[in-house]
Structure 1
């Protein structure tokens, strides 16, 4: 075994002095691969020569006298133990430096209220900003962000995304299930799956654990918006709506919910600028429609032919709210449209609960009864409902698709509702006995 601990501080000082005097570098050995590289500048650099996998390597251990002889020997012995274990001291040092850098960066981010780099939350927020917000509506993106912040980030947000496994994700989703929000749990799982797929694309992780949870959550019990489709019961509903004793604008909203086939959000956001009562047409802007973000930005508006009954209701309502922006302003401020719960609350006051009839249910009522009782072609009804069904040229939202047929249909539907309201004989189902 080669001798070690050969140097003394006196010998080192003498070597440094000689190097300066002679203006020549030299190396002096302490044994065990430890060498002091003496420079003409009067500085000394500790080097450790070692062999790993048959190759000679060199490791810097600091400068003398900042790193003393005793300290250099300690570093040498530690490095030699790593070599004996088959580890490369240089690689170990680099990893330690990288880990220190990561910790400091994490501390800086934490002080700023930001998630660590490479964490699930960091990747998720990047996905939200660069992908999700670009593809979907602002409201959709906001709902996704809130779900992740409330039900994912507190449990897996700070975890490195590459280290998250299916059981960890499932544990977070189980918390959502436990409060009975089964559909929300599925939506969060789907959002997390998109985050993991984005993480794979940018090299932050290598797999998507959400894909392993396909059958791990409780199934969503599919339910439809409650809707009345029996002609006699619809007639009673219409009479009850006509006798509504609340706000006049709310009563008009109830009636137009049945007449216009609009989604509740489209109805309550209706503006007077969208209406042309002379031509009996309502033009709903594309950005208000339930569409993909690109279709909201570039798609055509949705045209709604107005039956004479709808025009009459809107003409009367114009005297009440026509001076403002919204056809149905909020009760507290004309600067906002009425609440999404206004029509629902009115129905409840009339004795119709969520299991009987909903604001959205008026569309289902019309979809069913126009087809069954008036014999209108399904494609005409779907066009008026603004469902994204492509025409023969592949256009999902053709502003003039079946427009003449829809005008006739909307008037026929309004006339039929008048007969039901009056309790007249019900029109039989096409091709069947009533």
Structure 2
């Protein structure tokens, strides 16, 4: 068992870059320090206390008491303070029983003035750290945090009492006016979709305040009208028609001219593997089974964009002969590295940046507004059905979509349709080569 970390060792924990994996280390007496990827340039280290709750049916369920972030001042905790909190929690459970949940303890220990008259910032913080939010995907949590910090709290005072944000507060519709101001600032940048997303996030914060009794039911000021929705004009990713593909492949080959370029090779793999670019560049050698000609991408890989309740579902990619040929080349370059697309120039990632493929299409092939890496997936789905005559479920499954896991059927359907997908990946690779894709 690892020795508990000291305060000096916690301070010395390396900052985990965005996209990296969090770590968890013991700090003694059931206390643990979780080191998560940075937000901006700020290291994310927080204290937790895992414990076992005894449910009424006798089953024990693992729970996690969130204690707070590491540091001094500003509501943060030192190692000593975190240890004292764990001891206090344990003493409280002794008196209540092993069926006690930490939400009860947190409510009892929350400052009374916070319960009776919290500010907008306090409610935002409470919502972001609530158990229901902690179950969301990390990317979703960070996106909501950015909505509040970069948009809402730049317009509405963080110290505004949450009651003053109610629809009918102040003069006329006071809270509603404040929300409209947030929207108007974002709309002025023609970011109408962002405005809608920010307002939805703030609406969830207000719903949370209503459930806690801090706002009056029916007074949530965050509605989105049909006119608000009409301002946003949804645009799909630029893509190519079947007829444009040969010229695209020719331009790609002309650029490479037989010279090795890691991003160009990654783009060719993307064209063949039909997966999302973020998941592609994160592929590790340990995920590849050459004997079975299969890549298994863990379901919690950020680039897959799995919902939180589906991030336990791995994504399987059968490998055709052309993709194996490209992997043989990459093995000579990066075979001793962790990632297939290891990049020494990477600062934020140890592999190619997920935006590298789109930047290559825009800057090297002059395809800005014509094609994106995501837009290529339209070509895959269309050609698979119209040309290769596969039912839509086969390419859709290969693209990483999980429609079969929705609804009642999703509880029972664990099929992979792997044999059909192997046939499809072979036929898809052959079609690309027939259209002029040069391997490797």
TM over 0.5: yes
Instruction: Write the distance in 1 (CA, Å) between the matches of 2:296 and 2:155.
Output: 46
| Worse overlay, 209-218 or 147-156 | 209-218
The residue number in structure 2 matching 1:278 is 291
Going by fraction, where is helix more abundant, 1 or 2? Answer: 1
- Number of aligned positions between the proteins: 310
1:401–1:222: structure 2 CA closer, same or farther, 3 Å change rule? Answer: same
Which of 405, 415, 418 is the matching residue for 1:403? 418
How many angstroms apart in 2 are the aligned matches of 1:216 and 1:113?
Answer: 41
- Match in the other structure for 1:34: none
Q: Does structure 1 retain, via aligned residues, the 8 Å contact 2:331–2:340?
A: yes
Residue 308 of structure 1 is matched in structure 2 by: 321
Instruction: Name the structure 1 match of 2:428.
Output: 413
Identify if the C-alpha distance between structure 1 residues 171 and 329 changes in structure 2 by more than 3 Å, giving closer, same or farther.
Answer: same
Q: Distance in 1 between matches of 2:186 and 2:333?
A: 45
The aligned counterpart of 2:139 is: 139
- 1:351 is matched with 365
The 5-angstrom pairing of residues 259-408 of structure 1 reads: 259-288=272-301, 289-296=304-311, 299-333=312-346, 336-390=350-404, 394-395=409-410, 400-408=415-423
Tell whether the 8 Å contact from 2:281 to 2:353 is kept in structure 1 after alignment: yes
2:159 is the counterpart of 1:158: yes
User: Which residue pairs with 2:21 in the alignment?
Assistant: none
On the 8 A contact 1:306/1:407 being kept in 2, the answer is yes
In structure 2, relative to structure 1, the CA distance for the partners of 1:132 and 1:358 (3 Å cut) is farther
Residue 196 of structure 2 corresponds to residue 186 of structure 1: yes
Within the alignment, does 1:257 sit opposite 2:270 as a pair? Answer: yes
User: 1:276, CA displacement in angstroms?
Assistant: 1.3
Q: Distance in 2 between matches of 1:134 and 1:242?
A: 46
Q: Which moved more, 1:315-324 or 1:212-221?
A: 212-221
The 1-side partners of 2:342 and 2:142 are apart by: 24
Mapped contact 1:190–1:210 kept (Cα < 8 A): no
- Say whether the 8 Å CA contact 2:357–2:373 is kept in structure 1: yes
Measured after TM superposition, the shift of residue 266 of structure 1 is 0.6
1:235 aligned partner: 246
The separation in 2 between residues aligned to 1:126 and 1:265, in whole angstroms, is 31
Residue 323 (structure 1) shift: 0.9
Instruction: Determine if contact 1:347/1:357 at 8 Å carries over to the other structure.
Output: yes
Structure 1 residues 181, 407: closer, same or farther in 2, change over 3 A? Answer: same
- Give 1:89-238 correspondences, 5 Å limit: 112=74, 117-131=117-131, 133-156=133-156, 157-164=158-165, 165-206=175-216, 207-215=218-226, 217=228, 219-231=231-243, 233-238=244-249
In the alignment, the residues of structure 2 paired with residue 386 and residue 253 of structure 1 have an alpha-carbon distance, to the nearest angstrom, of 18
1:269 to 1:129, Cα distance in 2 relative to 1, 3 A:
same
Q: CA distance change for structure 1 residues 310 and 399 in 2, over 3 Å: closer, same or farther?
A: farther
Counterpart CA distance in 1 for 2:220 and 2:408 is 40
What's the CA shift for 1:384?
1.1
| Cα pair 1:282 1:305 within 8 Å, conserved | yes
Query: Secondary structure, in 3 states, of the residue corresponding to 1:325?
Result: coil
Task: Show CA shifts across 1:221-251 (max 9, x none).
Answer: 10111111223x1012122223333752212
Stretches of structure 1 lacking an aligned partner (at least 5 in a row) = 1-110, 424-434
Does the Cα contact within 8 Å between 1:367 and 1:381 map onto a contact in 2? yes
Helix, strand or coil at the partner of 2:286? helix
Structure 1 residue 333: Cα displacement: 4.6
Q: Is the 8 A contact 1:225 1:357 kept in 2?
A: yes
Superposed, which structure 2 residues align to 1:44-59 within 5 Å? none
Calculate the aligned-residue CA RMSD, in Å: 2.6
Structure 1 residues 387, 210: closer, same or farther in 2, change over 3 A? farther
**Could you list the runs of 5+ residues in structure 2 that have no partner in the other structure?**
1-72, 77-112, 166-174
Decide whether the 8 Å contact of 2:179 with 2:222 is kept in 1. Answer: no
Are 1:330 and 1:337, in contact at CA under 8 Å, matched by a contact in 2? Answer: yes
The CA deviation at 1:409 is 0.5
Larger radius of gyration: 1
For the residue of structure 2 that corresponds to 1:193, the secondary structure is helix
Question: Is this contact kept in 1: 2:394–2:421, CA < 8 A?
Answer: yes
Which residue does the alignment assign to 1:427? none
**In structure 2, how many angstroms separate the alpha carbons of the residues matched to 1:401 and 1:214?**
41
